[in-house]
A and B are shown apart, each in its own frame.
Chain A
Amino acid sequence: MHTPLNRRHFLRSASAWIALPAMESLGFRAFSAPKVSPPPKRMIAISFGYGITNETWFPDPKVTGKEYRLSPGLEPLKRHQSRITVVQGLTNKFSNEGHWGSTFYLTGANRYAVPGTNFFNSISADQVVAEAFGKETRFTSLQLNSADNKDSGHGPGLSLAWNRQGKPVAGMESPLAVFQKLFGSDDAPLAERQRMLLEQRSVLDAVNAQAKGIAKRLSRDDRDKLGEYLQSIREIETRLAKDESWMGRPKPKTELRQPPEVPANGIEEVRLMHDLMIAGLRTDSTRVITYRQPHWNLMKALDIDYHPHDVSHYAPGSRMEASQKRDRKMSELLAELIDKLAAVKEADGSSLLDQVALSFGSNIRSVHSLDNCPTILAGGGAGLGHGRHVVASKDTPLCNLWLTLIRGLGVEAERHGDSTGVVKELLG
């Protein structure tokens, strides 16, 4: 058959065949590092907002170490038991907001730290890592969201990430938009793109000049507020500079199909985002990814009619069953993600899973409980051994875990948030 359609189909699959070995052998990172170097470390942090079912999600805290039994809520992770670590006992001690599962999750900040305001936040762990890792990649970090985030117990914020200034970092909720950001090709010729860049700079110059003129006539507090606008412009300028340095290098190819504008349901949504994460990491487009995963959309896909907040206040009966059903589905999806990470081979024969520090959890345990934040770790990125159930000593700051991961990934940091050190139980 020689219809055009089939020809194109053939060409597409052929290019995928060609692209793949080329990537592995020559190293797509050759752009940034001339020599073949060991695969880079990566970080993925996922939060699920409203918590889990206390009674059936945690393994028995009395049985720690390698010989523990997975709980019913974690049962779908059975095939990965040797690849994951379940951690109990971690807490963000300043958190008092029973509906904010993501706002302070990676920051550990004290909402009331600054007198005269009723909201304060500080840099999130992923952004600490991104400051170091992001220099090497086209995108410093990638923040993923779901369209349902505002109803799913994640709390204020635009993503899991908060910048150095403690301001929210924007995230993307459309898998299609993420795909286009990572892989959408810009067919315009180089000269045209250079002119576009120049034009974008003129746009920024125009609004920047206006903002500075206005700022002169404002009070200090107003100037601080308008400072967010100027900071946004500076960030875009930095990004444009980066774009310019990447301009000669085409966006990587991917085998991934372009996702639909709107995912079929919450389960598909999570799977699509997982695939995009992996595609982003394996093409080394970025090394740091956070994800506020859907909660309500996931429940809708499971035909659960309750609002997520209602389920988080489960009582024995249908709401608790709903909560458990959702727990299992979340574990199932996490297990799929681990499968996918393990299936990607790196140039040195290791797997992507070996290079990533993956964390999965929330600031909320269940109901309004903010202690014993549910936490699962996987991947070899931070050099931690797995297959264990770790119960940290009482009142261990959750930020100790983030510090452990930050340092494990090779980023120097004295402390993070309210950390008092690393989680020793995770080392050795």
Chain B
Amino acid sequence: MRFSPTPFVLALWVLAPGSLGAAVSAPPPQVRIGEQHRAFLKSYCLECHNEQKQKGQVRLDDLSFQIDTTQSADRWQKVLNQINSGEMPPEDAKQPGRGAKTEFLAELSETMMLARKVIGDQGRKQIVRRLNKREYQNTIRDLLGVELDVSELPVDGGAGSFDTVGSGLSMSSDQFESYLALGRRALGEAMALQKALSAKRVKDHRELETHVNAQQQKQVQAHSDNAKKYADWTRAVDALAALPEHAAAAAEIRKRLSGRGDATPMFYKEWDRLQGTPGVKSFGFNDANSIDFFGRSSAGRYLPTLRNYYEQPHTDTGVYLGCHFVHNHVAHPIPNGWPPGEYVYRYRIAAAPDAPWHRRFVQFGIKGGGLDNFDLISTHEVTGTFEQPQILEVKVRVGTGINRVFSIREKRRIKRGTDNDLFEASFREVGRGPTPVLWVDWSEIEGPFPDASGGPQPVALASKTQDAEGAREVIQRVATRAFRGAALEAEFVERLVRLFEARMAAGDGFEEALKRPLSVVLASPAFLYVLEPNPGPQPRPLDGMELANRLSYFLWSAPPDAELFALAKSGDILKPEVAHAQVDRLIASERFNAFLGGFLHQWLGMERLDFFDFDRLRHRDFDDSMKVAARQEVYQTFAHVVRSGGSLRELLQSDYAVVNGLLAKHYGLAGVAGDAFRKVALPPGSPRGGLLGMAAIHAMGSNGAESSPVHRGVWVVKHLLHDPPPPAPPNVPQLTRLEGQLLTTRERLMAHQQEPQCANCHRRFDPIGFGLENFDAAGLWRTMDRYEKKGIGTKEWAIDPAGRFHRGPAFQNFFELRSLVAAKTETFTRGLTEALLEYALGRPVGFADEALVTGLVREAQQKNFGARQLFHAVTDRAEFRSK
């Protein structure tokens, strides 16, 4: 909702009264272009596009101002596109004034957005939905205990709705075959895993200095040899050049090279012009180029760096985490033959006393091929000292696949070339690579441990007998659990048993033969779809099992666990107080992370956070690890508000932040160490606290180097003020007239306000974006900004955040802006409620849901916008409990 509703929004309120009961659907609003705009059409369009003239075969005089069909929407869309593109009215015709054009475009694009919504409204139809990619993965995990790589499945969602919305979840023949293949892979893993359950726990301990230092010493030796050979060789060339008979030739070479920075080394490369020089082969090299390259880099780059490494105080008892060619990670593979399961990695680790904060972190992950390829799993703060090293523990789940080599390294960007950049930067400064600051005494792997996640026990795949009867037993057990309450037909089981028998007859062993029918279970509709059969037109209440499924897929993106299942079976789950207690339990669980990552990521448009590698010079610390932490701040703050019984208002403004050690240091908040996110009280005057103070939000509103007020403003009106602007219109001409001028960000973007095609939307969000300019692209506070243009110069300016909401109040600075947004908690709650409903119900929220939404918002308001109560209320509603 806006600060001042336009005539159209007013009309919506009149036509869609909020007094209807939940089961009654209100008619969709009528969509009309305001009558006051008829004059515009008449003045600038109808002269050519009337009944007689119909220029370009376009007639507009009979255009209805009510837009209620695809045809009328398409005609108006064309009018909108023509004016936006600047083609109409034609240059030689009468032109509308800027103001009139802006207002007409604003009205038309808003109305078109609404018309599309009304015409495309799905009603309250809830269409049967397939498990989306995330849910499929989690459902396999709970059923079989296997973390399956599902990257081969297509990405769900796309036409702008959540990935839980049934109508958008399609199926194709290729996808069906993927399910068969993925199921088979999961079954293979699960069988190996279940056999390993009885495996003895083992441990592999490495004193790293014995493992690594010998190798490093060899490297030192090799480089010393190279350096010595090069020195010997150059001495020999020098001696030769000093002989009178070579003086002329040497002088000639020197003259040619004079003025070049590398004249001296180049001189040696031309050694063969001096007669009688010793060949490089006798120095152990193939040609002058390689002796020059290896000799010089060994002497000039490698040796000083390696020597520096060994000058560090604790290389005799452990190793340092270096970069580039110096011990750039510590790898410790899970030995071959160790069974799959859960393992613990341990490192005894410390940071040097003079290490700056940004170097006191390690990344844990999988080292790929190449110098600095790395797949990040987690980031950890190093709080240990040489006197008191810490033991860092990381849990991993290991399959039978190939990714069994885990490693740690000093935190840095995960981008090809980073190590080289770091080395070169240090080399330019001090003549060698960076001094290592993180020290590891030893590393250790232990496992497998029993699954400690507290998740459901995987279904048993073993049977009493290894024959058709045994197979039937397993098939029945797996299918019953996999179908989550949907009926298991005897005929289906018989077909699968016959498949098993066919595989046995073909020569498969029992387990192998079982994989075939079981993979069919995992590709069958009863597994892949959330089934709530109802052939009739009237909604019916869900039964206990169906409700349990809805609850757990809503809050866990996973099937019900044993407790929910028992309550479903007894029917107790249908009691509101039992359901509330279960909602609380599901939210308190670690599995609620699946909701946070599923819902918040989509609702807040957070895919944009992954769009950019942040500029490493301007935003050194905003690397891959910081991005993960910034994203988690959004998730964990939301989780904190819900779990602690807080108010949704805290998402807009609060006196605390939920951060971990890494993010706290980015923000300059003292006294927070370690990897866990926790609530931290903020000092007075802090810009943190609430979504608008979060690095992730500002980073998303940037291009990785500079802030983007447009993106930030759009984000605020869309997600916080529930007033989404129309989609960026096609074919609007680019603004180019400011080319080559040195301007502030605001000056550049003010051009938007002068062109009606731009102004009609940009006036709504650009000013908000300007109000957030005190945050740079990495979300750090700033008071100055600068703009550099190659060949023209640099401009620096003090940031002026003052502005005014479109048809709304003014603000002097970010803090006032934040307060004005926080005052709109009701509007924010409406947006969140609609999104939550769409995600939970798996269908778009349409006009017929007006009463439902309004009722929920009113109830929330009465409960001080309690976040947890909103979850209770949503799951209480008839819409959530019926199909």
In chain A, positions 110-151 with a C-beta closer than 8 Å to chain B are 110, 112-119, 150-151
Partner of A228, one of B56, B171, B491, B499: B171
Does chain A have a CB within 8 A of B531?
Answer: yes
Contacts of B128 in A (CB 8 A): 218, 222, 225-226
In chain B, positions 81-130 with a C-beta closer than 8 Å to chain A are 81, 85, 116-117, 119-123, 125, 127-129
Partner of A222, one of B78, B127, B159, B172: B127
CB distance from A318 to the nearest CB of B (A): 8
Contacts of A198 in B (CB 8 A): 502
Contacts of B712 in A (CB 8 A): none
Does chain B have a CB within 8 A of A12?
Answer: no
Partner of B730, one of A157, A199, A370: A370
Partner of A207, one of B56, B172, B523, B611: B523
Does chain B have a CB within 8 A of A257?
Answer: no
Does chain B have a CB within 8 A of A426?
Answer: no
- Establish whether residues B495 and A206, one from each chain, have CB atoms under 8 Å apart when the complex forms: yes
Which chain A residue lies CB-closest to B157? A156
Does chain B have a CB within 8 A of A367?
Answer: yes
- Establish whether residues B120 and A232, one from each chain, have CB atoms under 8 Å apart when the complex forms: no
Contacts of B704 in A (CB 8 A): 305-307
Does chain A have a CB within 8 A of B815?
Answer: no
Name the prevailing secondary structure of the B interface residues: loop
Does chain A have a CB within 8 A of B232?
Answer: no
A267 CA to B170 CA, complexed, in Å: 32
A168 CA to B173 CA, complexed, in Å: 11
Partner of B73, one of A112, A239, A310: A112
A54 CA to B120 CA, complexed, in Å: 34
A169 CA to B70 CA, complexed, in Å: 26
Does chain B have a CB within 8 A of A229?
Answer: yes
Contact with A along B521-536 (1 / 0, CB 8 A): 0011110110101111
- Establish whether residues A214 and B531, one from each chain, have CB atoms under 8 Å apart when the complex forms: yes
A226 CA to B78 CA, complexed, in Å: 36
Contacts of A368 in B (CB 8 A): 728-732
CB distance from A230 to the nearest CB of B (A): 9
| Segment of B174-182, B196-204, B850-858 engaged in the interface with chain A | B174-182
In chain A, positions 172-225 with a C-beta closer than 8 Å to chain B are 192, 195, 198-199, 202-203, 205-207, 209-211, 213-214, 216-219, 221-222, 225
A36 CA to B732 CA, complexed, in Å: 54
Which chain A residue lies CB-closest to B155? A150
Partner of B116, one of A54, A112, A233: A112
- Establish whether residues A117 and B730, one from each chain, have CB atoms under 8 Å apart when the complex forms: no
Partner of A117, one of B167, B174, B177, B727: B167
Chain A interface size, as a band, is: 35 or more
Does chain B have a CB within 8 A of A302?
Answer: no
Which chain B residue lies CB-closest to A236? B173
| Segment of A39-47, A94-102, A275-283, A341-349 engaged in the interface with chain B | A94-102
- Establish whether residues A209 and B491, one from each chain, have CB atoms under 8 Å apart when the complex forms: yes
Does chain B have a CB within 8 A of A371?
Answer: yes
- Establish whether residues A151 and B536, one from each chain, have CB atoms under 8 Å apart when the complex forms: no
Contacts of B727 in A (CB 8 A): 96-98
Contacts of A222 in B (CB 8 A): 127-128, 533-534
Contacts of B844 in A (CB 8 A): 118
In chain B, positions 67-82 with a C-beta closer than 8 Å to chain A are 69-70, 73-74, 77-78, 81
- Establish whether residues B502 and A202, one from each chain, have CB atoms under 8 Å apart when the complex forms: yes
- Establish whether residues B613 and A305, one from each chain, have CB atoms under 8 Å apart when the complex forms: yes
A207 CA to B177 CA, complexed, in Å: 12
Does chain B have a CB within 8 A of A288?
Answer: no
- Establish whether residues B176 and A233, one from each chain, have CB atoms under 8 Å apart when the complex forms: yes
Does chain B have a CB within 8 A of A248?
Answer: no
Does chain B have a CB within 8 A of A23?
Answer: no
A207 CA to B559 CA, complexed, in Å: 21
A195-B506, A199-B499 in contact; A307/B167 too (CB < 8 A)? no
A170-B154, A316-B740 in contact; A199/B174 too (CB < 8 A)? no
Does chain B have a CB within 8 A of A317?
Answer: yes
- Establish whether residues A206 and B158, one from each chain, have CB atoms under 8 Å apart when the complex forms: no
- Establish whether residues B729 and A317, one from each chain, have CB atoms under 8 Å apart when the complex forms: no
CB distance from B341 to the nearest CB of A (A): 27
Partner of A210, one of B85, B180, B516, B524: B524
In chain A, positions 49-104 with a C-beta closer than 8 Å to chain B are 54, 93-98
Q: Which of B173, B523, B728 has most chain A Cβ within 10 Å?
A: B173
- Establish whether residues B703 and A115, one from each chain, have CB atoms under 8 Å apart when the complex forms: no
Contacts of A317 in B (CB 8 A): 789-790
Contacts of B615 in A (CB 8 A): 305
- Establish whether residues B611 and A309, one from each chain, have CB atoms under 8 Å apart when the complex forms: yes
CB distance from B52 to the nearest CB of A (A): 21
CB distance from B730 to the nearest CB of A (A): 4
Does chain B have a CB within 8 A of A258?
Answer: no
CB distance from A274 to the nearest CB of B (A): 22
- Establish whether residues B70 and A232, one from each chain, have CB atoms under 8 Å apart when the complex forms: no
Partner of A232, one of B176, B506, B534, B730: B176
A202-B498, A369-B731 in contact; A118/B170 too (CB < 8 A)? no
A94-B74, A118-B120, A229-B525 in contact; A218/B533 too (CB < 8 A)? yes
Which chain A residue lies CB-closest to B168? A119
Contacts of A115 in B (CB 8 A): 69-70, 119-120
Contacts of B119 in A (CB 8 A): 112, 115
- Establish whether residues A168 and B172, one from each chain, have CB atoms under 8 Å apart when the complex forms: yes
Contacts of B453 in A (CB 8 A): none
A329 CA to B668 CA, complexed, in Å: 44
CB distance from A181 to the nearest CB of B (A): 11
Does chain A have a CB within 8 A of B734?
Answer: yes
Does chain B have a CB within 8 A of A412?
Answer: no
Contacts of A309 in B (CB 8 A): 611
A95 CA to B520 CA, complexed, in Å: 40
CB distance from B76 to the nearest CB of A (A): 12
A256 CA to B91 CA, complexed, in Å: 57
Contacts of B172 in A (CB 8 A): 158, 167-170, 228, 232, 235
Q: List 11 A-B contacts (CB under 8 A).
A: A112-B119, A115-B70, A158-B172, A206-B496, A214-B486, A214-B529, A219-B535, A305-B612, A305-B704, A307-B704, A371-B730
Interface residue ranges, B against A (CB under 8 Å): 56, 69-70, 73-74, 77-78, 81, 85, 116-117, 119-123, 125, 127-129, 154-155, 158-161, 166-168, 170-177, 180, 486, 489, 491-492, 495-496, 498-499, 502-503, 506, 516, 520, 523-526, 528-529, 531, 533-537, 611-613, 615, 703-704, 727-732, 734, 736, 739-740, 789-790, 844
Interface residue ranges, A against B (CB under 8 Å): 54, 93-98, 110, 112-119, 150-151, 155-158, 167-170, 192, 195, 198-199, 202-203, 205-207, 209-211, 213-214, 216-219, 221-222, 225-226, 228-229, 232-233, 235-236, 239, 305-307, 309-310, 315-318, 367-371, 395
Besides A229-B528, A318-B790, 12 other A-B contacts (C-beta < 8 A): A98-B728, A113-B70, A119-B159, A119-B168, A151-B611, A170-B173, A226-B128, A228-B172, A236-B173, A305-B704, A368-B728, A368-B732
